[in-house]
Every structure is written in structure tokens, then in C-alpha cells.
Amino acid sequence: MENLIFCLNATIPIFLVMVIGYICRNLKLMDEGFVRTLNSFNYKVTLPVLLFKDIAEADFYAVWDTNYVLFCFLVTLLCICVLWVLTSICCKDKSILGEFVQASYRSSAAVLGIALIQNIYGTSGMAPLMIIGSVPLYNVAAVIILSLTGPTAHGLNKTTIKKTLKGVLTNPIILGILLGMIVSLCRITFPVMVTKTINNIAVLATPLALLGLGAAFEGRKALAKLKPTLACLMVKLILQPALFLPLAAYLGFREEKMIALLIMLGAPTTASCYIMAKNLGHEGTLTSSAVVTTTFFSSVTLTVWLYLLKIYGLI
């Protein structure tokens, strides 16, 4: 019972804040424009500042783990390649192939992931190292897959490649991590007034991000393309964690590292998948359905995974 309460305390508060965001949207306390601005503000300001703060305050020489970053990268790459090959063989509707692959591998690592790790450990923990290993690959792979598939796909071109590389290099989350690494490596200290300002912005990241996720939730879209949506849910929330978490445990990853891997493998599909799919000429219906459905059911699956990790002494 103690382990179950631990897991519920880790997940339920996160989803309750999302429910509050959803209620506020339905009570017209937030409109679509406000939610869009809020999500943009979180992505470009509060989340990068939070990651910058946690890394800058850590001892980088003690925290950095090359094997862990490589594990995150290689597992993400393997998931993407296997999904692409299997979906190409099994999927009859080739127009949704790219959307399905992207929605099945790409997790809400920065938003929901950081929220969960913070709720358990009080800081972003190993999330920055996991993000370094997986998020740039998320973006590059998504552009390649979506460009080569879909109803209006014309393949990769110089403009698309340049845009992708620019997007990765100017990603606010990545920039926040890199700046934090520089500060930690150089052991730079800030005046108290600067530190307090950074803390005041960083503390906004998790609650605002969760409110934005909840406010953007659209349940009706989950009914569209039900079969591929359910297949995506199985891959995203169950199969990937079931395959790779035991391997991570065998390799000795524990505590914050294991939680970050759970997020990478079993967190719901990130909402940015929909934006990227639409921008690259896809319909977007399957992607929006996957985002909604995986977000809803992850409240159950993440609790179950946390419970299993807890009873086996991995966290």
C-alpha cells in the first residue's frame, strides 16, 4: 500500500492540475489564443530557465554520464527505425504512416517529464541528460519521416534540411540545457538578486505547462481514426517501456535516471507532433487523436509503471 500511495502522489497531482486547466478552458477563463500564448511562453521561457537553473546549480562533472546519454540516443533511434520499418510493412493507409510513427515514439519529455520528476525528486533530475540524448533526434527524425510520407510528400530538400537543423540549434530547451552546462562547467556564480529572479521564473514552469496541456485537451478528437490511435497508445505507453526498462535496469540505471527513461519511453505523445505534422502537409487527425488519448490514459499507465519500478527497488 505504501508503494501505491507513493506512485499516486507522484502522478495524480500532475493530472489534477491538467484537469483544472481543462475546466478553466470550458468555463471560458482561457480562450484558444491565451492557451497558444501560454504554451509558447512555457516552451520558450519557463522550461528553458528551469532546466538552466537545475543544471547550473549541479556539479556537472559529477552529474554527466556519457553511457546514459548514449543509451537514450540509441534506444530512441532503435524505436524510430523499428517503428518505421514495421509500419511501412503493416500499414495499409500509407497517408498516415508518418503521423503514426512520429506519434508513437515522440514523448512529452520536457513538459510532462519534468513535471513528474520534479514531483518526485524536487528538481528536474536526469531529465536534461535524457533530453540531450533524445530530443534533437526526435526533431530530426520527425522532419525526415513526415517529409518522406503523407499525401503531399515530396521528399527532403535543401530548405527542409536547413530549417530542421536551424530548429534543433535554436531549440529553447536545448539552449537552456547548454547554457546551464557552461555555467556548471565554469563554476559561475550569480548575485543573489539574479539567482532569485531565475528561481521565480523557473518555479512557474511546471504549473503553467500543466495548465496549458489541460486547457488544450480536446476529447472529441480521440474518436477520429480509432484503430491506429489505439495501436499508437499501445506502442507509446506499454510496449516501449516493457521492452527497454528491463534493459535499463540490467545496465544499472536507477532513481532519477530510471524515471527519466520512463518518461522518454512511456510518456504521452507531445502536442508539438501535431504542429509539425500540419506544417509538413499531413492531415493531423491521427496525431491529435494520439496526443489526446495517450495523455488521458498515461495517468493510469505511468502510475502502474512507477508502482512496478518502486516494488522492484529501482526508484
What number is the average pLDDT over the span 117-142? Answer: 78
**Which residues have CB under 8 Å from 190's CB, separation 6+?**
198
pLDDT at 187: 84
pTM for the model stands at 0.79
- List, as one string, the DSSP characters of 235-300: IIIIIHHHHHHHHHHHTT--HHHHHHHHHHHHSPBPTHHHHHHHHTT---HHHHHHHHHHHHHHHH
**pLDDT digits 0-9 by tens, 20-49:** 988 998 898 888 888 888 878 887 888 788
Q: Measure the CA–CA gap between 285 and 282, rounded to whole angstroms.
A: 9
What number is the average pLDDT over the span 255-270? Answer: 89
Query: 116: closest CA among 238, 257, 260, 273?
Result: 260
Domains and CATH numbers, the chain: 2-311 (1.20.1530.20)
Locus of grid cell 534540411 = 161
107: which strand partners? 269
Cα–Cα–Cα angle for 132, 137, 142, rounded to 5 degrees: 145
More reliable by pLDDT, 159 or 307:
307
pLDDT at 107: 87
Give the highest mean pLDDT range of 72-76, 182-186, 268-272. Answer: 72-76
HSE value, Cβ hemisphere, 13 Å, CA-based, for 179: 14
Cell of 141: 527524425
Q: Tell me the longest C-alpha to C-alpha distance in the chain.
A: 60
Task: Give yes or no for residue 114 having a pLDDT over 70.
Answer: yes
Task: Give yes or no for residue 221 having a pLDDT over 70.
Answer: no
**Which residues have CB under 8 Å from 112's CB, separation 6+?**
14, 209, 210, 213, 263, 267, 268, 295, 298
Task: Give yes or no for residue 155 having a pLDDT over 60.
Answer: no
Task: Give yes or no for residue 223 having a pLDDT over 70.
Answer: no
What number is the average pLDDT over the span 289-310? Answer: 87
Q: How far is CA 162 from the centre of its chain?
A: 24
Locus of grid cell 509539425 = 276
With cut-offs at 50, 70 and 90, classify the pLDDT of residue 253: very high
Task: Give yes or no for residue 83 having a pLDDT over 90.
Answer: yes
The CA-atom distances, in angstroms, between 313 and each of 10, 72, 82, 94, 192 are 16, 21, 30, 43, 39
Q: Measure the CA–CA gap between 163 and 56, rounded to whole angstroms.
A: 29
Cell of 271: 502536442
With cut-offs at 50, 70 and 90, classify the pLDDT of residue 95: confident
Q: What residue type is assigned to position 23 of the chain?
A: I
**pLDDT digits 0-9 by tens, 160-218:** 677 767 766 777 877 887 888 888 888 888 898 999 999 899 888 878 877 887 787 76
